[in-house]
Structure 1
Amino acid sequence: MGDPGDQLDEVIGALAAGRTAAQVVDAEGRLAWVSEQMQLLAGVTEDTDLGLGRHLDEVLEREVWNDLLTPEAVATLRRELHPRLADPSSAPLWVLSLDLRVGGRHRGVGMLGVTLRHEDGSPLGAVLIYAPLLPARVLALVSEGDEAMFTRMADLSEPAQRPAAVVFADIDGSGPLSRRLPTPVYFELIRGVTTAFDELVARHGGIVGKHAGDGASAYFLRDSHGSDAAAAGAALRAVQELPGIVDEVVADLAESGAEVRAADCRLNVGAHWGADLFIGQIVTGGRLEVTALGDEVNECARVEQVATGGQRLVTKNLVERLDEEGAAELGLRPRALTYRMLAELTADGGAAGGKAERDAGSLAVHDLG
């Protein structure tokens, strides 16, 4: 019979190679290991004392685990684990339903327990693996999303002030277009544009905001990119690439026989910098999204509303966040750009123009188109 410590280390090494939320306890019921994913769920920092090497009864009294596990979950773990470690005849596998507290909400999870034993049947320890209680088809839908973006969204469980670049986009003349095209074709167009927009935002390290009809929004946080310049550069790169990806969507539809051309589907874009945005998750029974509130969000929406014919209006506040290297990578020469006041572009006097002039008329904007 090998050394128990070595054998547990082999189990831990195998688990660490995966990406599961898991814990390992030894034969005495002491916490031997906590996976990285479990630590992320618990909000562990470098200073957090997980209780490694301590008996699970003591560990479960620590603040970090009390914050994560509901009292009922703690009681269930204590009741179920100890007899299974002590009784060689107990089933090697067991499944429990537990509630965790994540992001201020109770989340039901399934826990798979695996009792570890030596060849002679004596206890070696146990593995506790946590997994979401979701049907396979729901998990399949979630897995289709961009993992890196979901991770960035998970980091925003606590709303806080976070500087970011904001991008709004909307299809120009979508009303006449929706009436001209068959409804299934128009739906495919909107779905294709929305999907392409989301993929582009993810590729450049952003977070997708709300979608409403044929409109979309995105945020590029300084926290995610490391600096104002990097966040602004990522947003502007996405704005530069938007026309190309929309043209690809339209071309694919046209190949399928739809009567739609690139000129029929131009995205009007507004992009702005928000130094004082309040950004966080909104999680309900029917949705998970990230939203931002602040004057700059409203101003960006007005900039986009003023854009026409596929204009990509970016504010001076955003462009001047770039450093020299970032500007060069984008092919921009900030010192040579000229700007116009948004109020100058609202001469039609319509409702949208009036609101834009009132809320953001003094903003200086440049058309990247």
Structure 2
Amino acid sequence: MGESGPDGPLGEVVAALAAGRTAAQVVDAQGRLAWVSEQMQLLAGVAESTDLGLGRHLDEVLEREVWFDLLTAEAAETLRRELHPRLEDPTSTPLWVLSLDLRIGGRHRGVGMLGVTLRHPDGSPLGAVLIYAPLLPARVLALVSEGDEAMFTRMADLSAPAQRPAAVVFADIDGSGPLSRRLPTPVYFELIRGVTTAFDELVARHGGIVGKHAGDGASAYFLRDGHGSDAAAAGAALRVVQELPDVVAAVVADLAETGADVRVEDCRMNVGAHWGSDLFIGQIVTGGRLEVTALGDEVNECARVEQVATGGQRLVTKNLVERLDEGAAAELGLRPRGLTYRVLADLTRDGGAAGGKAERDAGSLAVHDLG
């Protein structure tokens, strides 16, 4: 998506906006659309070839499909009503703020729009800048800014649920029940928070998407689309499986330095990792959460693999390992031809509830312990 714009004084304004990564539009003195920022294009979900209506009057531009789909009818009418008089009247207030509804990902989202009327030194109209920003309190924006930007971008790309092949990883703490009873509740909370944070950072570092967290359990997805190939996605997932024990050990060591009676052997992570060719992946957005989830038989199977793992086992399926090509395997230090597998049903936990479900849902899967 290009960011080319007008020359002269209006071009200087465009250059400043482009450097600031804002969602913005610029119109000239005649009300014609002169420039659209890359962030605005991403917000509208446009393709490289989309005709944005550059050079056309805003009244015509707002009727084009790309803008008609983004702005509600009320938002478009508000823009027309507010913009034209401000371009024509040199005495109008140079700054104005509007609350507009946009359609993003099939949902209505309220945003704030800051309008800035631009004038030449002699007072004649130069144009106007329209800058869009979320209607969120500063403390909420600060909280969001603590997240991993690349991760949020990958999550934003999944606004439309669709079938997406991916590697899946499930993990939880082995024996967390007895551990929670032994440790003081504040210490156990710090442990879970630290492990969860470490897991999320590890997933982000290797280009994955964090899935649901439940208690001490965590999940992640590594999409083929995001990594470019099955081998790259599988390799990223397996890299997380390999590195997880070390990052968790670092969390435990930091907590122990504060005087907490916790050891690395108290916090071994059971892991299951699998490949899903037919996963349906997308966002779940409610008033209280934004998360990415995946549905499909392979997700259920991966959960069963993780439930069978015990004592810090890291069970990876044959389906996942065999997605690796020679280069990806070498980077991981694996020799797939030399690995041996066991059927999951042979590893079930003494025929208990978890074992019974695992045998029923995924008993025929071949798995290898990377531990």
Bin of the TM-score, shorter chain as denominator length:
over 0.9
298, 301, 325: which one aligns with 2:300: 298
Work out whether 1:172 is the aligned partner of 2:152. no
d(CA) in 1 for partners of 2:126, 2:58: 15
| TM-score (norm: length of structure 1) | 0.98
Are 2:165 and 2:224, in contact at CA under 8 Å, matched by a contact in 1? yes
Unaligned runs of 5+ in 2: 1-5
Counterpart of 2:77 in structure 1 is 75
How far apart are residue 5 of structure 1 and its match?
4.1
Counterpart of 1:90 in structure 2 is 92
Counterpart of 2:159 in structure 1 is 157
222, 225, 228: which one aligns with 2:227: 225
1:115 partner SS: strand
Q: Structure 1 counterpart of 2:292, which letter? A: V
How far apart are residue 47 of structure 1 and its match?
2.4
d(CA) in 2 for partners of 1:14, 1:253: 46
d(CA) in 2 for partners of 1:61, 1:80: 17
362, 365, 370: which one aligns with 1:363: 365
How far apart are residue 145 of structure 1 and its match?
0.3
2:30 partner SS: coil
Counterpart of 1:307 in structure 2 is 309
The 4+ residue runs of structure 1 with deviation greater than 2 A are none
d(CA) in 2 for partners of 1:320, 1:356: 22
Seen in structure 2, the aligned counterparts of structure 1 residues 347 and 181 have a Cα distance that, compared at 3 Å, is: closer
Work out whether 1:41 is the aligned partner of 2:43. yes
d(CA) in 2 for partners of 1:334, 1:344: 21
d(CA) in 2 for partners of 1:5, 1:296: 54
Are 2:308 and 2:349, in contact at CA under 8 Å, matched by a contact in 1? no
324, 341, 348: which one aligns with 1:346: 348
11, 30, 33: which one aligns with 1:31: 33
Q: Structure 1 counterpart of 2:301, which letter? A: E
Q: Structure 1 counterpart of 2:345, which letter? A: A
How far apart are residue 233 of structure 1 and its match?
0.2
d(CA) in 2 for partners of 1:219, 1:46: 28
Q: Structure 2 counterpart of 1:129, which letter? A: I
204, 214, 234: which one aligns with 2:216: 214
Determine what percentage of the aligned residue pairs are the same residue: 90
Task: Report Cα offsets for 1:277-299 as digits up to 9, x if no partner.
Answer: 00000001110000000000000
202, 205, 214: which one aligns with 1:203: 205
For residues 4-15 of structure 1, what are the structure 2 equivalents within 5 Å?
Answer: 5-15=7-17
How far apart are residue 46 of structure 1 and its match?
1.9
1:24 partner SS: strand
Seen in structure 2, the aligned counterparts of structure 1 residues 48 and 158 have a Cα distance that, compared at 3 Å, is: same
d(CA) in 2 for partners of 1:329, 1:48: 40
How far apart are residue 347 of structure 1 and its match?
5.2
d(CA) in 2 for partners of 1:292, 1:19: 31
d(CA) in 1 for partners of 2:129, 2:49: 25
For residues 135-284 of structure 1, what are the structure 2 equivalents within 5 Å?
Answer: 135-284=137-286
99, 102, 116: which one aligns with 2:101: 99
Task: Report Cα offsets for 1:17-50 as digits up to 9, x if no partner.
Answer: 1111000000000000000000001111022111
2:56 partner SS: coil
Counterpart of 1:322 in structure 2 is 324
2:278 partner SS: coil
Seen in structure 2, the aligned counterparts of structure 1 residues 173 and 119 have a Cα distance that, compared at 3 Å, is: same
| TM-score (norm: length of structure 2) | 0.98
How far apart are residue 104 of structure 1 and its match?
0.9
Are 2:304 and 2:358, in contact at CA under 8 Å, matched by a contact in 1? yes
How far apart are residue 343 of structure 1 and its match?
0.3
Counterpart of 1:55 in structure 2 is 57
For residues 88-127 of structure 1, what are the structure 2 equivalents within 5 Å?
Answer: 88-127=90-129
Seen in structure 2, the aligned counterparts of structure 1 residues 347 and 261 have a Cα distance that, compared at 3 Å, is: closer
d(CA) in 1 for partners of 2:20, 2:123: 27
Q: Structure 2 counterpart of 1:333, which letter? A: R
Superposition RMSD on alpha carbons, in Å?
Answer: 0.7
2:128 partner SS: strand
Q: Structure 2 counterpart of 1:27, which letter? A: A
